[in-house]
Amino acid sequence: MHHTIALSILIPVFRRDCRPLLEELQAQAKKLSVGYEIILGDDCSGEPFTSVYATYQQEGLCRVFTPHQNMGAGRLRNALAQEAQGDQLLILDSDTMPASANFLARYLQQASADEAVCGGFIYPPTLDNPLRQRYGERVESKPAVERAKAPHAGFVSMAFMIPRTTMLATGFPPNMGMGYEDLLFGEHLRLAGVALRHFDNPVEHHNCDTPAEFLSTTRRYIDNLHRHQEELGSLVRLARAYRKLHNWHLADVAAALWPPLRPLLERQLTSAHPSLRLFNLYKLLYLASISSPRKG
């Protein structure tokens, strides 16, 4: 039995059954030569999930940490880092699954006292959401050699390892909300001089959103981008594209196009063969519609 905890695996969760993830992590962690802990951060999910998570804890799958109020994923990651005892933190989203049987061992081999490490993510081929699948595979999921070209801009919080001291010193932006907080955290690491190393050791992202739910989430993220454009404007390609429209005096035209084009675009994007170019147009027109001073 290892009494000293070297590795803390931290998983923020909100209303999701993540038993398969916990069981896989436990199976792999027991083979490690270091002490470990798994902490599930329940972001005030309520029943029936509170009881489900309590069962996980009783079975020894994890320890459950529940804040007094809903915090959102970023702030909850910060709180879990405070709660953790390990020198190294492996922070995973609750809708992920290690893609290999030596996932934890490979992350530990990469552990560094002064660097953050990202193993990347992939999408399972059976995702029942054509838009999510296509966008994930062609835009989001990149091999390490690609992510390393702009290491901090390529940061994704779905799965990463970071020294606890670094996480406590940097942390996720506390008032950011959901949407583009990964980019801002990566930028904070860059400004703090913390190297971000990429390697290939992915999790699978098992996203269960329907196409319509994915579009709704996308709009919610863009709402957050609009609220935090001062911090995010130069980091986000979409914001830079909107700024060009504005400079060309076309922002109001784009905003006016949103109401008539939205149903047409949504019909195409929720079809079996969604277009990523039209998805980009959808996002740009929506940002224009909420940014325009003439919005009604």
Task: Kindly report, residue by residue over 184-230, the tens digit of the pLDDT.
Answer: 999 999 999 999 999 999 999 988 789 999 999 999 999 999 999 88
Residue that the structure tokens 């799965």 belong to: 159
Is residue 38 classed exposed, middle or buried when 0-12, 13-18 and 19+ CB atoms within 10 A define those classes?
buried
Q: pLDDT digits over 36-53, tens only? A: 999 999 999 999 999 999
Q: Supply the pTM of this predicted model.
A: 0.93
State the DSSP H helix or E strand holding residue 253, giving kind and residue range, or none if neither. Answer: helix 251-269
In angstroms, the CA 104 to CA 7 distance is 10
Return the structure tokens found at 90: 């492996």
